[in-house]
Chains A and B, each alone.
Chain A
């Protein structure tokens, strides 16, 4: 067990290193120049040159990467990199990444975890209930419902929810239409989170419900379920003890994949509600060619991705004792 986790934590750090290098390489070889983004289209060559020199962008590629890591000194001859706890300078926000990344991280974690805490159990319950009696009325209702919510893109869901609850046209204004997480107004943070989370839940729930349902339907036709029914176990007991354990292995992977997704890619929902999270920050920074911000965000993403895989593998072992990772 200790070896299982030790090995995977080693893998975590290795992946972080590989990913951070790849991100640097990608930025190096993609078109665009951060100096142009910072100074504007009409900056002269000299101005661009000066910006490059002042920010140490004129140094060779490896030099910049290693100094960002903190193993060689930067252009000011100072060790200030990842190893020293410094994520670097963000050209887009014109400040150190450390100054704003923790706020963003907290916001995104809050949004992702709350949404996940709603989506995961709800999808398992709905999926199992729908799948345990294929073709029943309950199954039909859940299936149709999940198909519809998944078919409507999240910006449409977001705007519809906003129109209903926040615009004051259909109903009196009950919730704020944006969630900038600014408590200066009349709305508490909790009330600002309701609509974004409802949007995410509506959009991603259907997919998981259908995954769990498909898996459950299949398991319910297996011989051991028939045996369990025939030997006189009550139906809830058959479902919970015999069917669910086996039905949850594949959906569990899908559920954990959602966590990755919620953490890094809720760009659209963030844009609709002006939510200060990771997704939009990454896209903005990427388009600006602000490498330090993207690097930092990606490191946190690696952590989430690898952790979700460790949890996944560990849970497979719990769900099915025949699976063993030596």
Chain B
């Protein structure tokens, strides 16, 4: 029964490489991982090289071609409802999605992990209080929260990060808490307690790394959902201000005209 075992030869071959290369080499184990890595690398290159790679200024209107033009040799992906080149807007937009989505997820994880660990580890009144706070935020319909934050503080990249952190951290907290509840009963936690380790050490060094599996999956998928959420915020008129080229602007008329671009853009998101 080969349950999650790596052939010994692979291990010895990899151990000669420096640490970070070894983790890159692990990718060879998974064809899916390689495809994903290429997709991510592709978009990172697009984002960095946007000024050189984008064929047009993302805000230039090409009224010679007209609005909502189909793909052509001049505009590879056609033009949007304001006669702007869609390809250029996707390339420039990748900058915003690639910075905001990971930032927002990271912030949500910092807050959520802290809350979840404290609640699950100490339990009792700490648990009750923190989970109360989470329940309050969770009871607020997600989009209403976005609407409130954006209307109150105005749309900007920072506020989108704040909004996503605010909305996502209770969900992360619940996930971490459920893991912590289980892991705190483990033998190695008991051993650490016997050694007299401080609580923060047990939480951060003993419990959190052992909870990582589902959290990594959640973080990755959450990044994708965040990118889509940024688009939905734009759809509701609460995203970044129009001159900023991000992917949201395609969502507005997605039902009628931009379906193909909409779907294509998001192929890479997760």
Contact = CB atoms under 8 A, between A and B. Distances in A.
Contact of A252 (B140, B152, B178): B178
Contacts of B263: 152, 156, 160
A251 B182 CA distance: 13
A221 B3 contact: yes
Contact of B148 (A30, A134, A261): A30
Interface residues of A, number: 78
Interface residues of B, number: 57
Interface in B127-176: 128, 131-132, 135-136, 138-144, 147-148, 151-152, 171, 174-175
Contacts of B4: 134, 217, 220-221
Given A210-B221, A286-B148, A298-B141, A15 B178 contact: no
Contacts of A325: 123
Interface string A265-278: 10110001000001
Interface string B194-217: 000000000000000001011011
Interface string B241-260: 00000000001001100010
A283 B143 contact: yes
Contacts of B179: 249-250
A283 B128 CA distance: 30
A309 B185 contact: no
Main secondary structure of the interface of A (DSSP, over half): helix
A153 B30 CA distance: 26
A114 interface: no
Interface in A299-326: 301-302, 304-306, 309, 312, 316, 320, 322-323, 325
A159 interface: yes
30 contacts: A15-B135, A18-B132, A26-B148, A30-B151, A30-B152, A150-B224, A153-B266, A155-B255, A156-B259, A217-B213, A220-B3, A221-B4, A235-B1, A249-B178, A249-B182, A253-B175, A254-B218, A257-B138, A257-B175, A260-B138, A272-B255, A282-B143, A283-B144, A298-B141, A301-B140, A301-B141, A306-B139, A309-B131, A323-B181, A323-B182
